[in-house]
Chains A and B, each alone.
Chain A
Amino acid sequence: MNHSLVTIADHSREKIEYLIRMAQEFELHPNRLLLQGKVVATLFFEPSTRTRLSFETAANRLGARVIGFADPKVTSGTKGETLKDTIMMVSNYADVIVMRHHLEGAALYASEISPVPIINAGDGANQHPSQTMLDLYTIYQTQGTLDNLNIYLVGDLKYGRTVHSLLTAMRHFNPTFHFIAPDELAMPKQYKTYCHEHGIKYVEHKDFDADVIADADILYMTRVQRERFTDLMEYERVKDRYLLKLDMLQKARPNMRILHPLPRVNEIEYAIDDNPHAYYFQQARNGLFARQALICDTLGITLEQIKNDTTIL
């Protein structure tokens, strides 16, 4: 059994807190030679520039070397090679494989056949654990705790896998969720059932204004994508209803922070970028520390070793 990371849905509270402490160490000192002599492979069967850059930066800043591909068009996959064959081949070269795939379950399957650990960098609509980890780290960083928070999820709650993963990962921390979405993109029943089963409180809203978000600790915005709508009239009608405007922040709590997995299109008014509540760019930066922690954890490097690390540059 290797240390592959396919999902963090099954992680315990202790494991999540452990990884957060690890990420804190990397935020303090991101440049080290902890992974000197190691090779990290990044296999992007589906292009994703920001996730790939974040993982490759994480590996590079720890002294590892990186091999891989950014675009599936250049691989043998297009010649009909199976995922298994690609993974078996690359596992001969690398110590850990970071992979992104458009098919759901691809990372779990790869982890079952690969002799080296796999890190899931997103498998279709299924899981994206490094995004969830950086979200958790950012929430912890801005609030000083993960416990008892009011978390508002806004926009596409139907297809947005980041909000689903966040919801599952937060179950250990007694959150109150608020779902703000148009009918077409409402939180699926499956996840509301999950909330009931795990005693997670939630409130649903149709409106999105200063009063609704006044009690928020975290305002998690997502992109409402045009292609998600069967009825384009409906899209035109709702697209601006879930736009966060500067004047909506008047009643916000001082500790409230706005997060967004990025890329943003028009969900957050650009005037908000300089507001102290805006935190999405720092959130993206945290992706580096969260991914450094995840790579080290999959390679069996412990928090203790990181704390006593003598390779800090």
Chain B
Amino acid sequence: MKREQLIVSALDHGTVLDHIPCDRLFEVINLLHLDQMSSKVTIGFNLKSNKMGTKSIIKIADRFFTDEEMNQLSIVAPNVTLAVIRDYEVVEKRQVCLPKDLRGLIRCNNPKCITNNEPMATLFHVTDKQNGIVRCHYCNHEQQIKDVKLV
């Protein structure tokens, strides 16, 4: 029987990022600096997904991510799932999720906010995880996470 699936060689060591929204794929690539990597990277774009309609997937050999890097990812693609693979086995699977606080990751949308006028780290508190709403620690402006720019 013909299988309607993409055949990609299995990963022995590395990370698989699944359920990336297609319109966010290139942002994820930039954010994780995959263009500067020397190890093997497989990218699937516009793949079929039962849950999402279409999705993208990235397999990265010999690279593991810190929590901080994953938090960053949650800003552009909040529902990504991450599988850590060692010796062809999935040793860890987790969902990327918005942390309670975002320190030094995004810029405030308010041009009159002190963080846009002073060399300092930004800080945001996530007030509504479901709808992706964050509040600037300094100027108190609430903003949608999809509207903010990365630092």
Contacts and interface: CB of A to CB of B under 8 A. Distances in A.
Contacts of B115: 105, 109
A124 B142 contact: no
Interface string B118-151: 1110000000000000001111111000000000
A126 B113 CA distance: 10
Contacts of A109: 114-115, 118, 120, 138
A105 B142 contact: no
A125 B112 contact: yes
Nearest to B115: A105
Contact of B112 (A82, A83, A84, A104): A104
A190 B142 contact: yes
B117 interface: yes
A153 to B, nearest CB: 20
Contacts of A126: 139-140
A106 interface: yes
A101 B113 CA distance: 11
Contacts of B117: 103
A84 B120 contact: yes
Interface string B28-66: 000000000000000000000000000000000000000
A227 B26 CA distance: 43
A83 B114 contact: yes
Interface in A243-284: none
Interface residues of B, number: 16
Given A109-B138, A126-B139, A102 B112 contact: yes
Contact of B137 (A82, A108, A190): A108
Interface in A93-131: 101-106, 108-109, 123-126
A65 B92 CA distance: 63
Nearest to A102: B112
Nearest to A84: B118
Contacts of B118: 82-84, 103, 109
A124 B112 contact: yes
A126 B110 CA distance: 12
Contacts of B142: 190
A84 B120 CA distance: 9
A271 B4 CA distance: 85
B93 to A, nearest CB: 37
Residue in B110, B112, B141 whose Cβ sees the most chain A Cβ within 10 Å: B112
Indicate the member of B114, B118, B138 with the most A CB atoms within 10 Å.
B114
Nearest to B110: A104
Interface of B: 110, 112-115, 117-120, 136-142
24 contacts: A82-B118, A83-B114, A84-B118, A84-B119, A84-B120, A101-B114, A103-B112, A103-B114, A104-B110, A104-B112, A104-B114, A104-B138, A104-B139, A104-B140, A105-B114, A105-B115, A105-B140, A106-B114, A108-B138, A109-B114, A109-B115, A109-B118, A123-B114, A124-B139
